[in-house]
Amino acid sequence: MNDNRVHELTTLKIIAEKLNEATDVEDMLKEVLKELLQLIELDTGWIFLINKQGEYELAADYSLPEGLTWNRKKPMCQGGCWCIDRYKDGRLKKAANIISCKRIEEVIEHNWGETRGITHHATVPLRAGDEKFGLLNVAAPNKTHFSNEELALLESVAFQIGTAIKRIELVKKERRHALIEERNRLAQDLHDSVNQLLFSIMLTARGTKELTDQHDIKEMLTYMQELSQEALTEMKALIWQLRPKGLENGIAAALLNYATVLGLKIESEISGVNTLPCHIEEELWRFGQEALNNCKKHAGTNEVFLSITRSKQIVKMIVSDRGIGFHYDEQAVIPSLGLKGMKERVMRLNGSFNISSTPSKGTKIEIMIPLQKGG
DSSP 168-214: HHHHHHHHHHHHHHHHHHHHHHHIIIIIHHHHHHHHHHHHHHTT---
Nearest Cα to 181, choosing from 249, 274, 260, 278?
278
Pick out the chain residues at pLDDT < 50.
333, 373-375
Pairing of strands 265-271, 303-310: parallel
Indicate where the chain has its CATH 3.30.565.10 domain(s): 245-375
Indicate where the chain has its CATH 3.30.450.40 domain(s): 3-173
Cβ–Cβ under 8 Å, residues 103 and 115: no
d(CA 113, CA 240): 55
Domain 245-375: give its CATH superfamily: Histidine kinase-like ATPase, C-terminal domain (3.30.565.10)
Cβ–Cβ under 8 Å, residues 59 and 45: no
Nearest Cα to 32, choosing from 8, 16, 44?
16
The DSSP code for 295 is I
Cβ–Cβ under 8 Å, residues 191 and 239: yes
Pairing of strands 131-139, 44-50: antiparallel
**pLDDT in the model for residue 315:** 92
Distant-in-sequence, close-in-space partners of 304: CB < 8 Å, separation ≥ 6? 259, 264, 265, 266, 267, 292, 295, 319, 320, 321
Q: pLDDT of 19-71, one tens digit each?
A: 888 888 989 999 999 999 988 889 999 999 998 888 899 999 999 999 999 99
Cβ–Cβ under 8 Å, residues 341 and 290: yes
d(CA 299, CA 325): 7
Cβ-count burial of 331 within 10 angstroms (0-12 exposed, 13-18 middle, 19+ buried)?
A: exposed
**pLDDT in the model for residue 329:** 62
Q: pLDDT of 207-264, one tens digit each?
A: 888 888 888 888 888 888 888 888 877 777 776 666 555 566 778 888 888 888 888 9
Distant-in-sequence, close-in-space partners of 331: CB < 8 Å, separation ≥ 6? none
Let me know if domain 3-173 sits in CATH 3.30.960.10. no
